[in-house]
Structures are given as structure tokens and as C-alpha cells.
Chains A and B, each alone.
Chain A
Amino acid sequence: MTALAALALWGLGVDYALAQAAFVATWAIAGLGVVLIVGQCGQVSLGQGALLGLGAYAQAVLALRGVPAPLSLPLALALGAAGGWLASLPARRLGGLYFAMSTLAFALVVEEALVRWESLTRGAAGLAVPPLMLGGWVADTSLAQALVACVALGLAWLACRRWLASRLGRAWRAVREDEIAAAAAGIDVARAKTLAFVLGGGLSGLAGALYAHWIGFVSPEQFGLMLSFELLMLAFIGGARHLSGALWGALVVVALPQGVSLAVEHLPAGLAGAAGIETALFGAVLVVLVLLRPGGLVGSR
């Protein structure tokens, strides 16, 4: 791992590596949200990308109107949490696929709303996002961005550890293993699921807000169904049963597209120019990983 990091530093430069680290930490925050919902509580969420989008747009719109970050970041987080609550609402009484369907619907509705509400979001044209400002300090270098992202990840991690060790975490695992048995043991199953979505949504909102600053530009198609799947992949590849799975998954998801495009360059000339090759390779890697490591990279199973 350290050898790999050293190689990346040597090959690509410190600045590039720090920028990538900021993205890895940000994706890991979003990944923690998926780990809570999917890995701990056992619910399938296909709307995580939209929750990230809510956070990103809240942050972008507020930052453009001059709202300071200590106020706008909690608001973005709250909007993500509210979105998670809303997405889980229609399927409260049912689990499994119905949850997946309602979160899928939520994601598509949010994406469409971001395109159509042009007075606020400028529609498909997108919004340019100014760098993050904390007090008088502007996070416009890679080092500052990586620092902020890592601090946020650390806080999110501590919060998640607390939740997992609490009554709530035990309730989630009980719901994951057997809903009926959990209910018989006196656990309010609907409440446990809703809380998983609210907390997971909040983490997604926070990740979205940071992501909007790092990338400097938000547009609706960044937060479509594809992102929801990428986040699901992230948690699944890393290992959804463990918090550290989010970090490993984030590393893979950030590194994979770059690895794939490197590999594409080395393909024969006739193939390299074709647009679909990257998608196909990405899909193939996903299939192979799911088949070979069904428990994720950190999973024991």
C-alpha cells in the first residue's frame, strides 16, 4: 500500500496525489452512508447519488449566495438527511425490493427536478462552485482540500463507530439478519430503517457538498442513476459489513476509471478510440470483483 502510494507520488506529482486523496476521502464519506444503509441495516438503496446531488446543489447554491461554510455545510447535510427520509417513506412497511424501487424513483425525480428548476440550478447548464471558505481561509489548494476532506471523513467515521456500537447499530444488524425476529425482539423495524436512511442520507449530503467544492462545477447528470450504482459498487467492492470497506471501496472507485483509461491506451489502435471500451471494462471489473470477492475486499466471507 505504502509502496503504491510512493509510486503514485513519484509518478504523478504531489499535487495530483493530494487532489486524488481529497476525492478518495470524500467518496469514503458517501461510502459510509451506503455501508450504514446497505451493509448494516440490509436495505437496498438505489438513490444514494440523488442524495449526494441534493447536498452538492445545496452547497453550490448557498455558496454562490455568500452563505458561510459553517452554516451551509450543516444545511447541505440536513437536506441529504431529509432526502433520505423522504426516499424511505413510501416503503416503510415493506423491505427489500420495494425499498430499492422507491429510492430509484426518488433518484429519478430529483434528477429531473434539478434539470427543470432552472431559476435555481440553471438546469442542464450546471453551476460553477467557488472554493470552500472557512472564516477567512480559502481551501483552494489540493493540500487544503485533502485536509478538509480527511477531517470530515474522520468526524464521520467517529460518528459511525458510535452509532454502530449503540442500541441503534444492534437494531440495524438485527433487522439485516431477520426482520421478523427483530420485530419479535421488540425492535421498531420501521424506525430503524428510517434512521439508517436519514443518517446515511446526511453523510451523502455532506459528501456531496464537499465534492461540489473539489470539482468546482455541478450539473444534474453527475448525480444520476449511474452515480447511485457507483456508490453501491463502492460499498460492495470494499465490503459493506465493515466501515473500512467504505475507504477501500472509495480507493478502488477513484483509481479504477484512471486504471481503465490507462489500459485502454495500451490496447491495439483500432480498439482504443472506441467510446464504449471504458464502459465495458468497468462493467467487466465489477462482475469479476462481485464473483471473486462476494464479501468485498475487507470481508471475511
Chain B
Amino acid sequence: MTAETLIQVLASGVATGCVYGLVALSFVLIYKATGAVSFMQGELLMLGAFVVLALHEAAGLPLAAAVVLGIAALAAFGALLERTVLRRTLGPAHLTALLLTFGLGMVMRGTVGAVPAASHAMHRLPLPFAGESVQWGGVALAAEHLAVIAATGLLAGALTLFFRRTRAGLALRACSENSDIAALMGVSVAGMHTLAWSLGAGLAAVAGVLLAPVTFVHPNMGLVALKAFPAAVLGGMASLPGALAGGVFLGVVEALAGLVLPEGAKDVVPYLLMMAVLLLFPGGFAAGLRGRP
């Protein structure tokens, strides 16, 4: 194996890992702020990709507008779901939220699958950079991988600014740390829950748009979100940067495993890693390094 192939494999691993990381980020964001475990992030991802596709191909909007509008629509949809359904599960019973989000995910997957135009034909989002490659010395990097990495970097920067520089970001952080004290300081906890679900849905939609040039857009593309759980556990479950880092790490490990391990082993590696981490560092890597449980 030459150094060039290694770099190419690493780049594709980082790009897939960014998608895992974004979904893990949305999962952790919701978990931290509301204590609920969302099993519909994959379906939100899929729905986001389909909404953008529909806006672009069926409604004829230019691609950039379709992307922005689609992500905004998913964020609004997340807020709507929180206001109407998920709000009723507040409290420590995460099993209720888990089953509810799973049921809602089934409804979304089934509904999209029931639309003949969506399930009977293969779709790709015609993003401008798809299929091209960037030559750099002897290394050919796929443009969509670079675009995914760049977009994830930008998004991480934007989220950092949101959490550090805005009142809403501060309130959301306060609510995640301790919702009782946040409420006493005048933060609307219910409002923050809506915001968290809305942001979570929006992030999942972004991941869907980024994944669209890499895989086809189809009703089961949300399965990729199953990799978000090991990513979140690797990152310590309660840390937003950790979730993103966990996702990227997982993507790279998976790409390398595909290179050296026999076929099929690649898909199990994230889960074996997750079990090992739970066994050795019960609080995730970050907490293990800091030496607290």
C-alpha cells in the first residue's frame, strides 16, 4: 500500500466520519438538553435529503435555495414534533421518548417509502462538486469528501459561535448543565427543549445533504445514523466536541479496518469499539483521560 492510497483512504474515512459526527452531535445535543434519547435522527437525515431533493427537482428551486430551505424546514419540523408529541414525555423515563421517537421514525420512513416517486427510482442530489476529484501531487481526493469535511468544519465553527456568543446558546448550555437552576435564572426550559429538538433535526438534515452525493438518496439511508451511537459513546455521551471527534475517529478506524480486516468485519468494528470503551472507560475516552468516571 502506497502513501497515496493511505491518504485517500484516510480522507474518505474522515469524510464519512464527519457525517457520523454530525448525527452524533444532534443526538448528544438533544440528550444533553432534554434527557431524551432520539432514535429518529436517521429518519430526519433521510427526510432532510428528500425534502431538499423535492424542492430542487419537483419544485424547481435552485440548489442553494433548496438546501437552505430544506434544512430550515426540517428544523421547523423538529420544533413542531417537540411541541405536539415529544413534549409529553418530559421527565426521567427515557424509555418513553425512545419508543416514541422510534415510532415517529417508522412513520417518516413509511410515509416517504409510500411515495412511489421516492421509493421506485434511484436519486442523487446533483450537488455541483459531486463526482469530481482534486489532484494534489500524486493524490486524487474526491471533491465530495473535501466538501463534506469543509462543510463540517464550517458548521462546527458556527455552532461554537452560537454556544459561546449568543444568549440562546448560553441559555441552552445552562439548561443542559442544570435545568432547575437555569429555570430559576429566567431561562425558559420548555423553549430550550424546543430549540434543542429543532437544532437536532436541522443538524440531521445537514448530515443528510452531505451524505447525498456519497450514497444514493433512498428511504433507508437513515441506517447510517446507527453509527452515531458508538460515536457519541466514544466521545463521552455528553460532550458536543467529543461527539464530532468520536464520529471522525470512527470513520477513520472503519476505513482502515476495511483496508486490513476481512470483509464484513468493518461493520462490526464500531460496535466492538463501543463495547470496549464502555468496559474500559465507562465515561467515554475524554472522561477516561481526565481520570473521572
| Chain A positions within 8 Å of B229 at CB level | 101, 104-105
B112 CB-CB contact with A under 8 Å: yes
Q: Whole-angstrom distance between the alpha carbons of A91 and B284 in the complex?
A: 12
Q: In residues 263-281 of chain B, which contact A (Cβ within 8 Å)?
A: 264, 267-268, 271-272, 274-276, 278-279
A8 CB-CB contact with B under 8 Å: no
| Chain B positions within 8 Å of A94 at CB level | 278, 282
A100 CB-CB contact with B under 8 Å: yes
Q: Whole-angstrom distance between the alpha carbons of A282 and B230 in the complex?
A: 28
**A90 and B278 contacting across the interface, CB-CB below 8 Å:** yes
Stretch of B3-11, B103-111, B197-205, B243-251 with 4 or more beta carbons under 8 angstroms from chain A: B103-111
**B102 and A115 contacting across the interface, CB-CB below 8 Å:** no
B290 CB-CB contact with A under 8 Å: no
Categorize the interface residue count of chain A.
35 or more
| Chain A positions within 8 Å of B275 at CB level | 90, 102, 105-106, 109
How many A-B residue pairs have C-beta atoms within 8 angstroms? Tell me.
134
Please, what's the 1-or-0 string for A201-229, where 1 marks a CB less than 8 Å from any CB in chain B? 00000000000000000000000010001
Given contacts A44-B98, A105-B275, A109-B271, contact A283 B105 (CB under 8 A): yes
| Chain B positions within 8 Å of A276 at CB level | 109-115, 119, 219
**Residue among B88, B99, B264, B278 making CB contact with A286, cutoff 8 Å:** B99
**B103 and A286 contacting across the interface, CB-CB below 8 Å:** yes
A277 CB-CB contact with B under 8 Å: yes
Please, what's the 1-or-0 string for A279-291, where 1 marks a CB less than 8 Å from any CB in chain B? 1111111110011
* Minimum CB–CB distance for B6 against chain A, Å: 26
**B95 and A284 contacting across the interface, CB-CB below 8 Å:** no
Given contacts A280-B106, A290-B99, contact A97 B230 (CB under 8 A): no
Q: Whole-angstrom distance between the alpha carbons of A229 and B98 in the complex?
A: 10
Q: In residues 254-290 of chain A, which contact B (Cβ within 8 Å)?
A: 271, 274-287, 290
B79 CB-CB contact with A under 8 Å: no
Please, what's the 1-or-0 string for B237-257, where 1 marks a CB less than 8 Å from any CB in chain A? 100000000000000000000
Please, what's the 1-or-0 string for A87-112, where 1 marks a CB less than 8 Å from any CB in chain B? 00111011011101110111011001
**B96 and A102 contacting across the interface, CB-CB below 8 Å:** no
| Chain B positions within 8 Å of A275 at CB level | 113-114, 119
**B94 and A105 contacting across the interface, CB-CB below 8 Å:** no
Please list 26 pairs of residues, one from A and one from B, whose beta carbons are closer than 8 Å in the complex, sorted by A's number: A90-B275, A97-B37, A101-B230, A105-B275, A105-B278, A108-B268, A108-B271, A112-B268, A115-B264, A225-B226, A232-B98, A232-B99, A276-B110, A276-B111, A276-B112, A277-B114, A279-B106, A279-B109, A283-B102, A283-B110, A284-B103, A286-B103, A290-B100, A290-B103, A291-B100, A294-B96
Q: In residues 8-37 of chain A, which contact B (Cβ within 8 Å)?
A: none
**A236 and B99 contacting across the interface, CB-CB below 8 Å:** yes
**B113 and A274 contacting across the interface, CB-CB below 8 Å:** yes
| Chain B positions within 8 Å of A284 at CB level | 103, 107
B116 CB-CB contact with A under 8 Å: yes
| Chain B positions within 8 Å of A116 at CB level | 264
| Chain A positions within 8 Å of B226 at CB level | 108, 225
